[in-house]
């Protein structure tokens, strides 16, 4: 960092060095919640935004801020900085930190704190912040308050590099959250003016920045590719985060691909969309001898039940992470990468290999076709009939909603599912399509879903070469929306996301219908403590937060709203029969 002279506030000088290095290391998005103790960081962020070095997102609620950062990092592939003040502000980041931990998403938390002399004496807004997130962080550093020493700019640069290394998993292959707990003394800030030249730094820093701004998964993998031989009757499972590698692997080996809707692998000739039903079939699922798992499967009970079954060999493949998917603790082979060997490729072309794949794929297609036929609208060559008109005016069902959203989404769009009943409906029925689908499945919680989708939309739609020129659609239940309603509050002057929130409103948490307790407990008790019915007026909520609002009470309303969404943020309410 070039010598710009002391500002009069060591907190500001340290913040300039720290944030300037993060910019050189490739960080582009910063999410900030306001507070007094973090003011030096905040004002430097404002300067960096002014000179075009970062995209700054200001949010009142730290919980929503954390999930916004999660969405930005997931879509961009870069670590996102989160800046907050001391006290409960830090604790509100915990849900997003846990999701990032279990999903392997790079987030760097800059949590402002009191200096050592103010800790442990009941000072206002002071608690034990270092280590607050426990094992969920890849690195936690409690940095003492700067006091203006000459070595502090270099220490800040080193701190930024260590944090970026740890968050991206560059050396550990275990990306995730990092906490830098930064103590600051008064004066808590001073005026500062930056220029792009000051932030670019000396030439000697260019090599470090180039290395750390590469994609997270570009680091050398210490383990060799596991070669999967031919022989056993094999299926390939693709869960969240599997990506196209799972589809390529299944196609190369000639094996059925059982891909969840949010896996990033739900496409290709080997796809088995109706995998749940077929895993229960004795002549298909009952004959599986080996499963190769990519990503994190979470949407069915049938997959972990099969893996835990006696006689099924399982290979789990994950390029990063330290926690492995292991139902029943029966998995014996873990690998960073996998490929079919020559015997597997040869076996794929044999009659037995073709028969095994063909039965899975054709059975799945027949099941999907039968379901579509039951729900199709009979069309007449002589104009619309009463039956056709009645079908178009019929109330929307969950399968109808899932199908319509899937049909309306294309590669230039983004699709996000909340952890509600609708993602499971979609997973059971939608056909293959190579589109970008996201969902918070690390812990599969409903919190922060709106904020995550906003982050995905902003990261994909902004910048000189946006990855998405379409719309981001978020499909949620009513409780998922209400749980994160505060994230609808957008900051004036910031870019607005092209985001359509599609709310399947059945007045409560009907996902609990699928639990065993629904068959044994009193209906009144289930309604009171599990369904948690609600009667919120979504139209008025949308108006209060400045979002456009629409109501789709019929199939024709739904199709029209999905094909012609508002240009900015909007909410589409879809009433569903409980």
pLDDT above 70: residue 208: no
The pLDDT of 501-520, averaged and rounded, is 84
Pick from 2-16, 195-209, 365-379: least confident: 195-209
The pLDDT of 337-347, averaged and rounded, is 96
The pLDDT value recorded for residue 380 is 55
**Pairing mode, strands 437-439 and 414-417:** parallel
The pLDDT value recorded for residue 376 is 65
Q: Give this prediction's pTM.
A: 0.92
Give the 3-state secondary structure of 242-288: CCHHHHHHHHHHCCCEEECCCCCCCCCCCECCCHHHHHCCCCCHHHC
Indicate the helix (H) or strand (E) that contains 426. Answer: helix 421-429
pLDDT above 50: residue 217: no
* Residues 6 or more apart whose Cβ sits within 8 Å of residue 261: 299, 417, 423, 426, 427, 430, 437
Give the span between the Cα atoms of 268 and 432, in whole angstroms.
7
Q: Please report which residue ranges of 289-417 form alpha helices under DSSP H.
A: 302-307, 342-348, 351-375, 386-393, 398-408
Pick from 222-231, 243-252, 566-575: least confident: 222-231
The pLDDT value recorded for residue 391 is 66
What confidence tier does 311 reach under pLDDT thresholds 50, 70, 90? Answer: very high
pLDDT above 60: residue 202: no
Q: How many beta carbons lie within 10 A of that of residue 381, not counting itself? A: 4
From residue 68, how far is each of 142, 435, 453, 476 by CA, in Å?
A: 24, 21, 8, 16
Contact predicate 222/172, CB 8 Å: no
Give the span between the Cα atoms of 508 and 535, in whole angstroms.
9
What confidence tier does 178 reach under pLDDT thresholds 50, 70, 90? Answer: very high
In degrees and rounded to multiples of 5, residue 496 shows phi and psi of -95, 135
Neighbour-count burial for 479-490, b at 16+ CB within 10 Å, e otherwise? bbbbbbeebbeb
* Distance between start and end Cα atoms, the chain: 61
Tell me which of 332 and 96 has the higher pLDDT: 96
The pLDDT value recorded for residue 211 is 31
Give the span between the Cα atoms of 463 and 86, in whole angstroms.
32
pLDDT above 70: residue 144: yes
What percentage of the chain reaches a pLDDT higher than 90?
A: 82
Indicate the helix (H) or strand (E) that contains 13. Answer: helix 10-24
Structure tokens at 516: 């065993």
Pick from 149-153, 461-465, 487-491, 509-513: least confident: 509-513
Contact predicate 66/92, CB 8 Å: yes
pLDDT above 90: residue 520: no
The pLDDT value recorded for residue 377 is 61
Structure tokens at 486: 């505060």
Give the span between the Cα atoms of 247 and 279, in whole angstroms.
19
- Could you tell me how many residues make up the chain? 578
Give the span between the Cα atoms of 280 and 276, in whole angstroms.
7
Tell me which of 453 and 382 has the higher pLDDT: 453
The pLDDT of 55-60, averaged and rounded, is 98
The pLDDT value recorded for residue 577 is 80
What confidence tier does 531 reach under pLDDT thresholds 50, 70, 90? Answer: confident
Neighbour-count burial for 327-336, b at 16+ CB within 10 Å, e otherwise? beeebeebbb
In degrees and rounded to multiples of 5, residue 19 shows phi and psi of -70, -35
Pick from 96-110, 286-300, 505-519, 552-566: least confident: 505-519
- DSSP-assigned letter for residue 395: P
pLDDT above 70: residue 385: no
Cα 108 to chain centroid, rounded? 16
Reduced to 3 states (helix: H, G, I; strand: E, B; else coil), residue 417 is: strand
Give the 3-state secondary structure of 504-555: EECCCCHHHHHCHHHHCCCHHHHHHHHHCCCCCCHHHHHHHHCCEEEECCCH
Q: How many beta carbons lie within 10 A of that of residue 11, not counting itself? A: 29
The pLDDT value recorded for residue 191 is 94
Alpha-carbon radius of gyration of the chain: 26
Residue 576's closest CA among 422, 397, 418? Answer: 397
pLDDT above 70: residue 332: yes
**Pairing mode, strands 499-505 and 338-340:** unpaired
Reduced to 3 states (helix: H, G, I; strand: E, B; else coil), residue 58 is: strand
Structure tokens at 448: 């922060």
Sign of the alpha-carbon dihedral angle for 96, 97, 98, 99? positive
Give the span between the Cα atoms of 289 and 523, in whole angstroms.
42
Contact predicate 107/471, CB 8 Å: no
In degrees and rounded to multiples of 5, residue 157 shows phi and psi of -65, -45
Whole-number average pLDDT of the chain: 91
What percentage of the chain reaches a pLDDT higher than 70?
A: 92
Q: How many beta carbons lie within 10 A of that of residue 187, not counting itself? A: 14
The pLDDT of 493-503, averaged and rounded, is 97
């Amino acid at each position: 960092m070039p010598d710009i002279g002391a500002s009069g506030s060591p907190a500001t000088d340290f913040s300039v060095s720290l944030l300037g290095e993060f910019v050189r290391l490739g960080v582009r998005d910063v999410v900030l919640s306001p507070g007094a103790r973090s003011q030096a960081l905040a004002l430097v962020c404002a300067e960096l935004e002014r000179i075009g070095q970062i995209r700054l997102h200001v949010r009142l609620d730290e919980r929503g801020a954390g999930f916004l950062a999660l969405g930005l990092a997931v879509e961009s592939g870069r670590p996102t900085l989160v800046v907050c003040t001391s006290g409960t502000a830090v604790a509100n980041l915990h849900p997003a930190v846990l999701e990032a931990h279990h999903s392997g998403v790079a987030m760097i938390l800059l949590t402002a704190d009191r200096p050592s002399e103010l800790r442990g004496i009941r000072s206002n807004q002071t608690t034990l912040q270092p280590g607050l997130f426990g094992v969920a962080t890849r690195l936690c550093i409690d940095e003492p308050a700067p006091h203006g020493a000459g070595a502090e700019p270099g220490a800040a640069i080193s701190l930024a590099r260590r944090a970026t290394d740890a968050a991206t998993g560059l050396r550990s292959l275990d990306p995730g959250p990092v906490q830098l707990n930064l103590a600051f003394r008064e004066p808590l800030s001073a005026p500062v003016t930056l220029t792009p030249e000051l932030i670019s730094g000396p030439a000697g820093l260019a090599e470090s920045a180039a290395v750390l701004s590469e994609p997270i998964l570009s680091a050398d993998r210490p383990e060799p590719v596991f070669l999967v031989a031919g022989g056993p009757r094999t299926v390939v499972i693709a869960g969240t985060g599997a990506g196209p590698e799972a589809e390529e692997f299944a196609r190369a080996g000639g094996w059925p691909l059982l891909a969840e809707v949010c896996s990033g692998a739900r496409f290709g000739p080997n796809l088995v969309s109706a995998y749940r039903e077929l895993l229960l079939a004795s002549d298909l699922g009952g004959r599986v001898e080996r499963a190769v798992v990519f990503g994190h499967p979470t949407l069915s009970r049938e997959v972990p039940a099969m893996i835990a079954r006696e006689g099924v060999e399982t290979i789990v493949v994950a390029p990063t992470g330290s926690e492995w998917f292991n139902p029943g603790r029966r998995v014996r082979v873990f690998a960073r990468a996998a490929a079919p060997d020559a015997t597997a490729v040869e076996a794929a072309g044999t009659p037995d290999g073709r028969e095994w794949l063909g039965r899975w794929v054709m059975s799945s297609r027949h099941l999907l076709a039968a379901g579509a036929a039951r729900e199709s609208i009979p069309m007449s060559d002589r104009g619309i009939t009463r039956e056709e008109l009645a079908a178009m005016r019929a109330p929307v069902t969950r399968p109808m909603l899932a199908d319509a959203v899937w049909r309306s989404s294309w590669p230039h769009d983004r699709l996000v599912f909340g952890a509600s009943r609708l993602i499971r409906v979609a997973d059971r029925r939608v056909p293959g399509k190579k589109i970008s689908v996201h969902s918070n499945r690390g812990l599969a919680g409903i919190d922060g879903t709106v904020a995550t989708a906003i982050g995905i939309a902003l990261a994909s739609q902004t910048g000189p070469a946006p990855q998405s020129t379409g719309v981001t659609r978020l499909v949620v239940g009513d409780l998922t929306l209400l749980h994160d309603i505060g994230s609808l509050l957008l900051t004036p002057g910031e870019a607005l996301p092209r985001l359509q929130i599609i709310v399947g409103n059945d007045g409560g948490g009907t996902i609990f219908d699928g639990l065993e307790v629904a068959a044994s407990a009193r209906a009144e008790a289930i309604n009171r403590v599990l369904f948690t019915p609600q009667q919120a007026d979504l139209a008025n909520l949308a108006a209060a937060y400045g979002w456009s609002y629409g109501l789709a009470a019929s199939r024709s309303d739904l199709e029209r709203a999905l094909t012609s969404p508002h240009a900015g943020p909007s909410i589409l309410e879809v009433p569903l029969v409980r």
